[in-house]
Structure 1
Amino acid sequence: MAAPPKPGQQFVPIAKFRPAMRGFDCEVIVLETAMPTTTRDGQTIHTFLVADRSASIIMNIWGNDGKCIRNGDIIRIDGAEAKLFKGFMQLTTARFGKLRRVGEDTMLFKDQPNVSEVQWVTEEESRAMEPAEEGQC
Structure 2
Amino acid sequence: MAVPLRLGQQLTSIAKLRPSMRGFDCEVIVLETAAPTTTMVTGQTIHTFLVADRSGSIIMNIWGDDGKYIRNGDIIRIEGAEAKLFKGFLQLTPAKFGKFKRVGEDTMLFKEQPNVSEVMWVTEEESRAMALAEDGKAKV
Partner SS, residue 67 of structure 1: helix
1:128 aligns with 2:129: yes
- TM-score normalised by structure 1 residue count: 0.95
CA-to-aligned-CA distance 1:96-135 (integer Å, 9 cap, x gap): 001100000000000000000000000000000013479x
Separation in 2, partners of 1:133, 1:117: 29
| Equivalent residue, structure 1, for 2:55 | 54
1:119 aligns with 2:120: yes
Residues 1-137 of structure 1: pairs in structure 2 closer than 5 A = 1-40=1-40, 41-130=42-131, 131-132=134-135
| RMSD between aligned residues | 1.2
**Aligned residue-pair number:** 134
Write out the 4+ residue segments of structure 1 that deviate beyond 4 Å after TM superposition: none
Separation in 1, partners of 2:51, 2:76: 9
Contact 1:2 1:106 (8 Å CA) reproduced: no
Unpaired segments of 5 or more residues in structure 2? none
Contact 1:19 1:83 (8 Å CA) reproduced: yes
- TM-score normalised by structure 2 residue count: 0.93
1 or 2, which has the higher helix percentage?
2
Separation in 2, partners of 1:2, 1:20: 29
Unpaired segments of 5 or more residues in structure 1? none
Contact 1:30 1:75 (8 Å CA) reproduced: yes
Q: Which amino acid aligns with 1:76?
A: R
